[in-house]
Structure formats: structure tokens, C-alpha cells
Structure 1
Amino acid sequence: MQFPESWLREFCNPPLSTQALADLLTMAGLEVEEMAPAAPPFTGIVVAEILEAEQHPNADKLRVCKVHAGPFSPDGPLQIVCGAPNARAGIKIPLATVGAELPPGEDGKPFKIGKGKLRGVESFGMLCSARELKLSEDHGGLLELPADAPVGTNLREYLQLDDTLFTLKLTPNLAHCLSVYGIAREVSALTGTPLTTPAIAAVAPQHDQQLPVRIEHTDLCGRFSGRVVRGVNPKAQTPDWMVQRLARCGQRTVSPLVDISNYVMFEYGRPSHIFDLDKIQGGLQVRWAREGETLKLLNGNTVTLDAQVGIIADEQAVESLAGIMGGDATAVSDDTRNIYIEAAFWWPAAVAGRSRRYNFSTDAGHRFERGVDPVGTVEHIERITALVQSICGGEAGPIDDQQPAMPQRAPVTLRVARASKVIGMPVSQADCAGVLGRLGLSFTEGEGTLTVTPPSWRFDIAIEEDLIEEVARVIGFDKLPQTPPLAPVSARVRVEAQRSRHTVRHALAALDFQETINFSFVEARWEQELAGNAHPIQVLNPIAAPLAVMRSSLVGSLIQVLKYNLARKAPRVRVFELGRVFVRDASVASTVSTVAGVRQPMKVAALAWGPKACAQWGVPEKAVDFFDLKGDLEALMAPRRATFRAAEHPALHPGRCAEVLLDGVSVGHIGELHPKWRQAYDLPSAPVLFELDLDAVQQRVVPVAQPVPRQQSVLRDLALVVAEGVPHDALMASLQDDPQQLIRQAVLFDIYRPSQPTADIAAGERSMAVRLELRDDDATLTEERIEATVASAVQRAAQAHGARLRA
């Protein structure tokens, strides 16, 4: 919400400086996100009038102007050379006198005006455009001022440029502050300064024409008010004061009728819509849309509607999205002569999230989905009508006001003792009553209680804590005493066999990965392609149309992070994420921390792309591969030992994917991104990644003391010839499956594949060199026992996998 300070002070003008006012609003929960001057600094700019404008004798695009500047031209009109195309006699414009300083340029230094000579003609000043004064980006010519602008007046005073623009960052419960008057009401309550509420006089009807309106669904619209105004002039000029205020609220001028509607919205928080009456066929219907109906909006988009969207329709077509945006067919234009002014109360639940379905948002929808005062529709139509008549003329008819379902507010009781306990400082019943009175909340008092009936403009007051919050912020958060907590604090001890999530993060960071944090809602395409999830959990009210489903895998998020980095020319990417995923599970019941039918496990995933190590002279550059990431995963799990089994995963390369097992239980997958997804997501090469259950990663082995072995280990190397299809893990398992438990470890240290078949290695075979570690903790191994154990191991490998000793 952006607005100028001067407009706020017209409604409530507390004896506070600009900075003090900003601090007050922030401490009251209306965070001032930004304060900016309405205009950059400049001096010596005055209102002047061009008396003559003649062609420059030596330049086709220059004019020699005679300019009257009041007291700044005591010796007669000033001669100024100007190149603006609209420089002509009779207009009033800004004049930078000799010695004036224009706004700072890119170098941060102000530009000083002096006497000059252009093509042989002297110039005593400079006529300015809006862009040169940095009041707007318009550089089409001189800034033309109203004809009644007093010559010689300082331009900053005339245009009220010594103003400050406030930008508030409002939370959704502060819908009553989405207008200048609403903010002024808060300032009045906070400071005790009287609130100026302008009287809005009723406009006397000059004809009896009304537009028939039928409200078909009261769960969409609770009140609908409208008025016909005939004979307006849409080509009239929007007054400069209105244009200026709208601009300082961040709203550009469109046309006088649209500007008036926008002005009242910023003034009182009342969105409204003005229809071209002659384009409406018959009467209006207020209802939910029917499946398949379409509407061309004012922004040019054509949208297809469904039964979840509210509309205003005439007898032939849909004319407006209820509470969001009007339709193009009945929009006012330069040919409009008769209009219909509409102001309604739309239920917040009927508007919330609808505009985001169509990838846009509007000021009207922003207000209606939070709650707009249903009581002021008629009064605000009177205000709009008065402005229309003063600017565009016209004859007003009677107001048609229908109230089929006005909201009923339930009383809320505040217990003074409870307020003191929650706020953390003693407050009396008189203190609470004073705060509620200043806020304009009507209440009745009981024994230690105050019962409030929320006013029509406060949709955020529904429970006792809402009232306690009001008491605390009006009294002032800075008044709260600093007291230590009364409740005992006891640490929650984690079992030794489990490491914390932060420990997992630190372990991955030590392996040269950087953590990323991503949204839990993702594109439906990611779920279908990368997680194989054809029916993901839908988000009912997505913040953006693409982010429409809840993720069941972290893979899509990491791929998106990779794309983001590659778009910024990152040469190497190593990222990880710890995050929650969402999976349908009918066995999950609804509790404080769970949602029925949805399981929400935590996962950890990592992705590596690019060189294995940063470039340096001592190590040749090598692209990261499956085995590099596998080594990182094993380091993450140490001292527990993970095993790997060939598997398939929707996101991973079929021949370069493995299932990760801990103690024989699958805990995730590791592999290289599938070639078709590498191409689909426009990646220069495939990354490698893994995704694991975080609970499994957090488990660790508790250290157990063991005596130092009294006997030495014996090492024996074997060269076993096996078929290419024999898995490494299976071969190692058969070698270590020693019934006497003398073989403590089997480690592969070499693989040999001859280029051509040899006498001892046939085609389709390979030689795997394995080192066996043997040890008996109770006795020294004899050569006979060693030979027998090795022979038994070779025999087991031969029986299980057809292995044989290489000759």
C-alpha cells in the first residue's frame, strides 16, 4: 500500500515528524517498508509563462522564447533558447533560472544552470520537461502546467513536491488499512489526534432510470448497489490534483471515469466498477459462472470460467469477474455517454485466489479477498457520483441498493486478566476500554470483561486474542517490560544413536555441497516426469499458477536450482537440500502435526554437475560421475556401510541408477539424470544426484569399545575370472560368507579386461583382483588354515558365480 504523507495528514495530522510517524506505524503492526521523497532535490525552478516563441535563426529545431517569470524577470521577459516541440506562446511551464540546480544525474552531482549561448543566441535559463526534473519518464516536451498556475511561484510549493511517499507492508489481517482513510483512522487511535471524516452529501436524482439487477447466489454477493448516470463526457480532463495523488499511490492515469473509481478505492478502500450502460443487454445477474463460459477482460486476456468463479452477467454474456476485474465488452470509452456505477460486497472466500488462477492480480481483488466494509457501498457511490458530475458532468438517477446477505458479526469477549497474562504486563479494565474506544469498537462492560461487537470494517476480529493484540499494539509494544520467562526451560535430549539435521547439513557442507531451500509446491510437470507421480496433491490456492502441486521428491527442486545457476554461467554446481515431501497415504490420521491422508516425510538430496574439483594445476580436470557421488554418499553415511543394487527410477538413467540399502532396507536412489530429461530441461550434460530418507541418514552407530586385536591380519590376493554380468557386491558377499569367520574383509583393487580374448580370459569375461584379510583373534593362523580358508572362498565364488582362479 503506497500513499503520500500529505493525503494522510488531511484526514489526521498528528504533531509528529515524518520519521516519527513512520516509526509509530511500524510499531503498531503497519510496517513502513519504504519512505521516498515525492520528487528529487532541485532548487531555483519556478512557474513561468511563454509570451513569444520564434524560430531560431541558425537552427531548425530550436526556438527563441520570451518568458515571463514574475519577480525572477524584473527587467522584462527572459530570452531562453528551447528545443522542445511543444514550446509555444501562452503556456505555463517550469523555468530553471540562472543559478538553479536540477536533480542529480548518474554521477550523483546536481546540474547547475548558467547563462549560455546556443548557435549564437544567448539563453538566460532553461525550460524543463518532467523527465529533466525526474518527475516522470515523459520526455515528449515541456511540462505544461495549468493555465491558472501563478507565475513566479516556486514549483516545489505549487506541485507540493516536498512530500513523502510511504509504502506499507501490510499483513492479510489489516484489510481495513488498505486505504488512506483507514490508515488515518489507525493513526488517530494511536495518537489521540482527531480524525477528520469528510461529509459525503447525497446527490439528488435527476431522473428515475434504474438497471435491473438480480442476485442469484448470496454466498457470492451479500450487497449490491448501483446507479445510472446519463450524459457524461468521458473526454474531460482528469484534474491535476487527482492525477498527482493517483501517481503518488503508484497508479497511472487512464481516463477520468476510471481515475475516479481508482481514486475512491485508494481514498476509502472501496473498489468499484463503472460500466458503459448502453453496452449492457437487459439487466444484470450476479451469480457463479457456468462451466465453459468465457470473458475477455480489460487487460486483453480471454479466460475460460468454471463454477468456482463469481461473475456479473447480462442477458447475453458475462461482463465482469466479480470483485476482480471488469470485462472489455462493457468498458467505458471515449464514446460512452451513459454509465452504471457499481459498488458491492463480495464475500472474501468467494474472491480469494480466483485471480491467481489466471496469472494476474488486481487492487480490487487484493482488497475483497481480505474483506471490504459492506456498510459503505451507498455512501461511496454518492462520492463517486459527485466526482463524476464535477469532472464529466451527467445526470444521476436513484441508487438501487440490495442487501440479501449482510455479514453478521458475532460478539467477542475480552477478559482483562487474560489480556494481562498474554501481554506480559498489568492492564486495567479502564486501559482496555480506552483502547477499544479509540479504535471505534463498540463494547459493553462486565465484571472483568469487555464484550465487543466488531464493526463492519474489521474482518480480522473473531477471537479473544485479536482484541488482546489490539490492546497491546495501541498501548505500544515499546511499553512492554523486559521480563524473563516464567516457565522452566528443559533441554530435549536426543538419543545417541541419532544425529541432528544440522549435523547432516554440516556433513554435506564438509563434502563441498551448498545448501538450497526451495518451495514445497512445484510444477505438476516435475512430479509427473521426475517423480513418476501422476496424481500429485493439488494446492487449493497456489501463489502462482505453475506452482500448483505439492512435491513428493526433491529432485525437481534441485534440477531447477541447477538450471538457475547454469543460466548465470556457473562452471560447477554442487547443491543439497533437506526438505519435506508430501505423499498420499490413507493410513495417516489428522493430528496437530499431520493432515489426514497425507504423509510428510523428510528427505535429503544432493546434486553434482561439472568438474569433480575446482580447477587447479596439480589435478587434471575430470567431470563428476556416478562413482564420485557414490563416494560422497558413503562418506555421509560412515561409519555405517551402505550397499547398492541396480534399480530404476523415473528421473534417472536406467543403466546408471542404483538403489541405496542400509541393513538390507531401501532408503533411496542414486544415479545420473535420464538423457531424455537432460534434453527436456535443456542441460548441457547430465548431473548425478541422490535422494535418501532423512530418518535413515540420521541414524548412526553408537561406538562400542573393542580390544585391540592380539593377532596380526594375513592378506591374500586372488585374481578371479568371472562373467561381465556378475555384480561386484554379490561376488564380495560370497567370498566373505565364511562359516569360520576368518575372512574379515574382501576388497576389489583391480579389474582387467583384455582387448582380445586370451587363453585364460574368454570374450565376455573380466579378471577381478581381490584382497582378502584373514584374522583369528584367539590364535595365530597357520599356513594350512589360511590355504583351506582361501580355497573354500574360491569354491563358494565358483558355485555362486562360476568364478575361477586366473592361470
Structure 2
Amino acid sequence: MRVPLSWLREYVDLPADVTARDLASRLTLAGLEVETVETLGSDLTGPIVYGRVLEIEELTDFKKPIRYCRVDVGSANGTGEPQRIICGARNFSTGDLVVVSLPGAELPGGFAIGSRKTYGRMSEGMICSATELGLWEDHTGIVILPEGFGEVGEDAIGPLGLREDVLDIAVTPDRGYALSIRGVARDTAALYGVSFHDPADVAVSAPAGEGHPAVIADDSLCDRLVLRGVTGFDPDAAGPLWMKRRLHQSGVRPVSLAVDVTNYVMLELGQPLHAWDRDHLTGTVTVRAAEAGEKLETLDHVQRSLDTDDIVIADGSGAQAIAGVMGGVDTEIGLTSSEVLIEAAHFDAMRIARASRRHQLSSEASRRFERGVDSDLQLAAATRAAELLAELGGATVEGAYTHLDRVAPRAPITVKAAHAAAVSGVDYPAGTSEKWLETVGCEVVVDGDELKVTPPSWRPDLTDPNDLAEEVIRFEGYENIPSIRPRGSGRGLTSGQRLRRAVGRALADAGYNEVLSYPFTGERDLDGLQLSDDDARRGALRLANPLNDEEPLLRTTLLPGLFKALTRNVGRGFTDVALFETGLVYRPRPGAGRAPLPPVDRVPSAEELALIDAALPEQPRRVGVVVTGDAERAGWWGEGRAATWADAIRAAREVARVAGVDLEVEADAHAPWHPGRCAALYVRVAGERLLVGHAGELHPRTVKAFGMPERTAAMELDLDRVERARTPVVAPEVSTYPVATQDVALVVDETVPVGAIRDALVEGAGDLVESVRLFDVYTGEQVGEGRKSVAFTLRFRAGDRTLTAEEASAARDAAVAVATERTGAALRA
């Protein structure tokens, strides 16, 4: 809502020293967020004065008609002589009062005015149009002012309103009253404690007879309808300059006097109006629901199929308007309309909102109706519009009018007098709530420590005690609520939360960047993963209303989202990419039925809740990584290193490390990984070996399907299962005794996993072993074809003594013995 400050001051006795920015700050603190304060005409400078056209010389030697004018500008030019100005407009005559920009002036947009020779004559200034002055958009010619508007030579900037402060307010859906000068003025008066002059205080006499016949078919659609007519309206009458200027400042385009009047009253009071050409109305005006198959051509010349949920205003020939949204072309005010019927009504807000969205018509009227308008304003608004048509358009207001009133009285709201203080935590003085609620228009009856509050008709948003508390708190000042640190509750983070944070920090420290992908996927993504038809990951949950028709499924794996994020980054020139994501995947339970939809008028039964729970998919939390390009960049320090399947496994080991679990790795074949470069990841839970994920290089077909670089590697791990494998952390004993180191090299078949050899060495070495670390793998002639040599460093240490060489050697021999038995290893000479 754009609010010109001068218009607002007409209804609020604001102190003269209150600036637009001061007011914007106060309104924002009171809940009406002022997004911007725009100073219109701030780039405009004078001299811009009134002038009288004395003489017009027609220059006919050019391709288009040009006029050479003598214009009286008084003493504004310093000489008192008429100003000579070239002008191409044709809509003015000798004797007209116009606006003249003299040399030295600057118009909006940085358009400097000077004296220059053009069309063979010296032009000393400009006769201005509304567009050039920034008054409103009008390309029909220059501005012709009415007689008596000003004296020749006087400054025109102030009287024309060329400079104006305009507040642009972002009105929230619950404050429909603020979509009017009236509503903003009421809050402004309350904030500054000054008088408010209600523009809706319009004298309305009793109807002198019956107005245009009207019927409300269903009170749930419309509970108040007013029809006021005027006769003898001059359709050629132009809207006054002040009205056009205010409409433009408020963001509404001036059209014609009849339309401008209805828009002006809507902005002023907040009540949308509709003007009908009464000559084109037949029979009784009826407010009803649209009939099945009914059509209407609206003012935007679109033929619309109406829905039975739409409210329409109809006459004897059918629907003539979508109520509260847009009128029809058949009854539009035209260039010859002299009989005008003003309609003002109070419609059901929800139906107007649905109709606006259904027909994709968001009009100024629908914006107000769907937020709630004053249910007691219709007669005053229609009367105000009729009087303006009479004043400005030469019409006569008919004494008879139609007023159908079906509005039910509002029930009072009972609230504790101290409720606002309890909500805000501020001990307000006694009587504070009553004062502010009465200020906003509520009727308040004090009953002991309770208040019975009847909200005013213009505040349909006040429906419960918390709404009333909000009114008190915002006028007392949100900024006056002290900041109190909340007391801690609970016992801090859960074990799962700590694990997820630790995993995120560890992967970030390892060089991975976190991404968040949408949890939606499609069949195309599952095909790209090379999943078989019976793969459990294809059993995805289908959404009823997907955001994207190509991604109607909830993800069963994190990998497609990671792959797409990597492809986007690579496509933007980043060749070295390492990404990770933690999030839920959704695995439907086998045989799960459809969740019931319990009614909203009662609490779901235990049986319904059980069925809902049974229909929910399992939602394990996963962590995934994807890496491509160089894991270590080349430079003056040496050669780089390309990322491989080993980096994906290293990421899994990093997750296992911060989780405090042992990760077992062995070769596997699992889509979408390369069969020969895929590792299965296991942990042990209560002695049972549990698969938690996979890592390795991706299959070439998957790489191609997602457009990723060759040799891209990825890992996906089930964090919930990893957490289950965690055991209480026991602080290690730190021995002060020296370590004994023994190296051992074993020759085994090249198919034997190194991890199996290491596990056998650890088991055989007993309690004295501190660590077993692989430091070399050799294949070649010395060990024979199909064989490999693996070398480990074994570190031994005792907590109570220094180990002897014999003890260390015995432990080493025991480790080698178990490895020989388990893996067929032979000690290499």
C-alpha cells in the first residue's frame, strides 16, 4: 500500500516536524512494515511556473505540425516579457493556463531545460505534459489547468504536488484495514496520540424511496449490499488534477472520471466499489453463486468459465461480474455512459480469495476482500463515490438507494485484563489494555479482572485473546519488551545430533563442501543409477502433488542429488569438486497400506494413528560424498594427485573415526559403482557384522547418465546404523614405557584382502599390540606370479614395564602364526 504523506495528513493532526522517515520508523515498530520511503520529485528543480498562452503561430514547413507560442510567465523570467517556446502538442489553445519549465529547470530523469534554436526559432523553455512533470502517465498532450488554479508566474512545484513523500507499506494478510489511507491514518493517530478524522464520516440520509431492485440469494456469500445511482453524469468530464495525482502516487493509473472515483474511494476508505452502466443492466441485481457451465467476459476481454464456487453479480440476462474480483464488459462504463450505478458489498473473504487464484486475477479489489474489509462501510463508501461523481461530473445523486443488511453482530471476546502483560512479559500499568483496545475502536466492558471486548467492524482479524494482546503490545512498543535470556532446558544435544555435527565438521576439514539437495527424484534418476528392476531403491514413495512432474518420488538414496550438484559445479568451470550431504532417505515398508485422512473436527482415534504410523516410510539418515578432479593440486611444491576410489573409502573411514567405530572394508559389486572398484562397508553390532554402505569409483554408464567427469568416486553410508555400532568411549591408558617396533613382511595370494591380514595380525599379537600399520605392498618376480608381498609395522607396548626383545619377538611370531593360519601367508625372507 502506497501512502502519500500529504493525503495521510488530511485525516491525522500530525505535528509539522514529523518527517516521512520518522513516521515510517514508528509504523514499522507497530507492525506495519514500511519497505521504502520514496521522495517523488526529489530530482526536480525550478523554475517551473504557471503560464498563460498568448499567441500560437503554426509552423507548417515541417513533417509534423509545430507551434511557436508566446507565453506569459509574469516576472518569473526576470524580464516580464512573454516567453517564446516551441511545442508540438495540439491539445491547447490561446488563453489556456499551462505549466512552463524555464531555462535552468531540471525535470524528472535528469532532463535539463535550456534555451536552444530548433525548427528555425529560438525556444526558451518547455510547456510541460503530465508525464514530463512526473504527475501521471499521459501522452495525449500538455497539462491544461483550470481557471483559478494559480496566478501567472507563480511557482507550480508546491501546488501541483510535484514533490511528495510516499510510504510503501508491506501489508500482511491479517491487516486488511491497512490497505487504505483510513486504516493507516487510524494507527498513525494512535501512535502519536493525536486526533483522527474519519473520512468515512459521510452524512447519509434515509432512502427517499426504493432503489434499484436487488437480491442476495445466499447470506453466506454476501451479508451487505448497497446500490446508489447518479443520473446526468457527464462522461466527457475529466478527473481533477489532485485526484489523478494522488492515484498516481498510490500506484493506480488514472483512466476516466467514473473509474478514478471508485479507485480513489477504495484507496481512501478500503472499500472496493464497482461502477455499472445502468442502461445496460436488465432487471434485478442478484448476488449468487455461479451456475455450472456459466461464462463471463471480464473487463480484460477474456472469456472465463465460471466455477460454482465463484460469487457473481448477475442481472436478468446472466452474470455481469465476478464479485470482488473483476466486472464484465457488458455493463462497463463507456464513453457515453450517463446513468451510473455504484455497487458496494461485503463478500465472503475465502470465496473471493479462491476465485482470484482460480481465475489468476489478482486485482486491487480482491486483495482487499480476501484480507477482510469493514462490514459497516458499504453505504458510506457508495455515498462518498456518488457525491464525488456529482461534484466532479455534473451528476445528480438519487435520493433512493438499495441497502440490504444481513450482517450478524459480533460476539464479545472475554480476555484477562493482564493477558497482554502475561504474553509480553512486561508489567503494564492497570488500564493499559482498556486504553489501547478502545483506541483501535473496540468496545470494552470491565468485569472484575476480565474484559469483554467487542472488536470494531473494520477489524475482522481480531478473533481471540491473543489478537487483542497483540494490539496492546504493538502500541506499547515491541521495542520496549526486554530481552531476557531463556533458561536452558533439556540436556543438550542428543548422541545422534552430536554425531551428525562431528561428521559434518570432519568431512569439511577433509576438504568436502556441504550441499543440500531437494529430496525428490524420478525414474530417470533411478535408471541412471543402473538399478535392477528388483532393487529395493526402486520402491520409492510417489507424491500426490509433486513440484516437478519429472521428479514425483521421494528419494531412496542421496546419490542422485549429489551427482546433479557435482555436474552443475563442473559445468560452471570447477574441475576439482568434493561434496557431501547428510539427510533422510525414504524407504516404504513392504505391504504398507495407504494412510487414512481423518476428519479435522475431532482428534484421530488410536486405530487411525496406528494406520498412519504403519503407512509412513522408514526414514534412515544417510551421509554421502562425491569427488572428482584433483584431490591434491599440483604446484611448485610438487605433483598433484587425482581423486580415486580410495578417497571415497577414506571419507567413509573419516566418518567411522569420528563415530568411534571400526569400519571393515571388502570388495563388492553394487550399483551404481564400478564392479571392480566397489567396496562394501561393514561395522559390528553386538558381534554381528552389519552392512552400512558402499564406496568406490562409479560405473561409467552412471557417470555418463549424470554428465559427470570420468573416474568420479562416491560413498554413501547409513549414519543410523553407524550410531548403533557406537560403544561408550573409554579413555585409553597412556603408558610411560617405551614402544617396541617389529616389521613383518608376508607373501600371500594377490586375491587376499589386506584388511583380512591386518585383522589376523591384530588378533594374534594379543594385548601387547598397540597398532598395526601397512607400509608396503609389492608384486613382481621375487614373490611369483599371482602373489603379493605386504609389509606391516607392529608397535608393542606394556603399561607396567619395558618390554624385552624376546617378548616383542614372541608377540610378533604369534601374530604371524595366526595370519598364516587364516590367510595362507608365508613369512618373506
TM-score range, shorter chain: 0.7 to 0.9
Aligned to 1:12: 12
Aligned to 2:600: none
Change (3 A) 1:613 1:488: closer
Aligned to 1:167: 168
Select which of 803, 809, 813 maps to 1:780. Answer: 809
**Structure 2 gaps, min length 5:** 529-536, 598-602, 766-770, 798-806
Is 1:741 equivalent to 2:763 in the alignment?
A: yes
Task: Report the more deviating stretch, 704-713 or 371-380.
Answer: 704-713
1:295–1:319 CA contact under 8 A, matched in 2: yes
Render the CA deviation track for 1:148-179: whole Å, top value 9, x for unaligned: 34332322112112321001223333222221
* Aligned AA (2:434): A
Aligned to 2:143: 144
Task: Tell me the secondary structure at the aligned position of residue 17 of structure 1.
Answer: coil
Could you tell me how far 1:454 is from its partner in structure 2?
1.3
Distance 1:249 1:292 in 2: 38
1:324–1:362 CA contact under 8 A, matched in 2: yes
Change (3 A) 1:416 1:714: same
Aligned to 1:756: none
Render the CA deviation track for 1:364-407: whole Å, top value 9, x for unaligned: 33322322222222322222333344455477585444445x35
Could you tell me how far 1:643 is from its partner in structure 2?
7.1
TM-score after normalising by structure 2: 0.72
Aligned to 1:196: 197
Could you tell me how far 1:194 is from its partner in structure 2?
1.8
Distance 1:294 1:435 in 2: 48
Change (3 A) 1:280 1:524: farther
Task: Report the more deviating stretch, 220-229 or 28-37.
Answer: 220-229
Select which of 71, 80, 88 maps to 2:75. Answer: 71
Q: Write out aligned runs for 1:202-241 (5 A).
A: 202=204, 210=212, 212-216=214-218, 218-226=219-227, 236-241=237-242
Distance 1:296 1:751 in 2: 85
Could you tell me how far 1:421 is from its partner in structure 2?
3.9
Change (3 A) 1:207 1:496: closer
Render the CA deviation track for 1:728-747: whole Å, top value 9, x for unaligned: 9xx56766775983498798
Task: Tell me the secondary structure at the aligned position of residue 32 of structure 1.
Answer: strand
Is 1:470 equivalent to 2:471 in the alignment?
A: yes
Distance 2:304 2:679 in 1: 46
Change (3 A) 1:63 1:321: closer
Could you tell me how far 1:9 is from its partner in structure 2?
0.9
Is 1:35 equivalent to 2:37 in the alignment?
A: yes
Distance 2:715 2:570 in 1: 20
Is 1:179 equivalent to 2:180 in the alignment?
A: yes
Distance 1:304 1:656 in 2: 61
Could you tell me how far 1:69 is from its partner in structure 2?
1.3
Q: Write out aligned runs for 1:645-660 (5 A).
A: none
Change (3 A) 1:656 1:616: closer
1:742–1:775 CA contact under 8 A, matched in 2: no
Distance 1:523 1:335 in 2: 60
Task: Report the more deviating stretch, 392-401 or 12-21.
Answer: 392-401
Task: Report the more deviating stretch, 345-354 or 158-167.
Answer: 345-354
2:625–2:651 CA contact under 8 A, matched in 1: no
Distance 2:581 2:239 in 1: 54
Aligned to 1:22: 24
Could you tell me how far 1:4 is from its partner in structure 2?
0.4
* Aligned AA (1:100): A
Task: Report the more deviating stretch, 675-684 or 388-397.
Answer: 675-684
Could you tell me how far 1:5 is from its partner in structure 2?
0.7
Select which of 21, 44, 51 maps to 2:47. Answer: 44
Task: Report the more deviating stretch, 120-129 or 38-47.
Answer: 120-129
Task: Tell me the secondary structure at the aligned position of residue 144 of structure 2.
Answer: coil
Aligned to 2:801: none
2:513–2:580 CA contact under 8 A, matched in 1: yes
Aligned to 2:451: 450
* Aligned AA (1:470): E
Change (3 A) 1:351 1:773: farther
Change (3 A) 1:262 1:132: closer
Is 1:99 equivalent to 2:104 in the alignment?
A: yes
Could you tell me how far 1:47 is from its partner in structure 2?
2.4
Task: Report the more deviating stretch, 426-435 or 323-332.
Answer: 323-332
Could you tell me how far 1:794 is from its partner in structure 2?
4.0
Distance 2:234 2:521 in 1: 48
Counting aligned pairs with the same residue, the percent is 30
Q: CA RMSD in A?
A: 5.7
2:56–2:70 CA contact under 8 A, matched in 1: yes
1:63–1:87 CA contact under 8 A, matched in 2: no
Task: Tell me the secondary structure at the aligned position of residue 94 of structure 1.
Answer: strand
2:522–2:550 CA contact under 8 A, matched in 1: yes
Distance 2:236 2:698 in 1: 61
Select which of 651, 657, 668 maps to 1:638. Answer: 657
Distance 1:792 1:437 in 2: 93
Distance 2:282 2:172 in 1: 41
Distance 1:357 1:135 in 2: 36
Render the CA deviation track for 1:297-346: whole Å, top value 9, x for unaligned: 55566666666655556678765444334456665554766665443323
Aligned to 2:731: 705
1:207–1:396 CA contact under 8 A, matched in 2: no
TM-score after normalising by structure 1: 0.74
1:746–1:772 CA contact under 8 A, matched in 2: yes
Could you tell me how far 1:347 is from its partner in structure 2?
3.0
1:670–1:690 CA contact under 8 A, matched in 2: yes
1:101–1:112 CA contact under 8 A, matched in 2: yes
Distance 2:458 2:525 in 1: 42
Q: Write out aligned runs for 1:405-424 (5 A).
A: 406-424=407-425
Task: Report the more deviating stretch, 676-685 or 35-44.
Answer: 676-685
Q: Write out aligned runs for 1:322-361 (5 A).
A: 322-327=323-328, 331-334=332-335, 341-352=342-353, 355-356=356-357, 361=362
* Aligned AA (1:75): G
Task: Tell me the secondary structure at the aligned position of residue 261 of structure 2.
Answer: helix
Distance 2:48 2:716 in 1: 66
Could you tell me how far 1:461 is from its partner in structure 2?
2.0
